[in-house]
Structure 1
């Protein structure tokens, strides 16, 4: 996974080009956005606590 940071250096999300996923953690919630080969998008949410 590769860290994606904004202009002030804060971590925004983590991206993985091989598995076509983006992970975002905010306020204890993990959001995973997965991109399928057919163009579909799947979003899952889970508690990180």
Structure 2
């Protein structure tokens, strides 16, 4: 996974080119964007584990 950082050096997201996914974690909540081969987009939201 490639880590993407903003101008302040803070981690913004992680990109996996092989699986065509972008992973964003904000305040413990994880959002995964998956780019499908047919051009569609799948969004997966996960809550933090208690």
TM-score w.r.t. the length of structure 2 is 0.92
Q: How does 1:32-47 map to 2 (within 5 A)?
A: 32-47=32-47
Unaligned runs of 5+ in 1: none
Deviation, 1:47, is 1.4
The size of the alignment, in residue pairs, is 49
Q: CA RMSD in A?
A: 0.7
TM-score w.r.t. the length of structure 1 is 0.93
1:19 matches 2:25: no
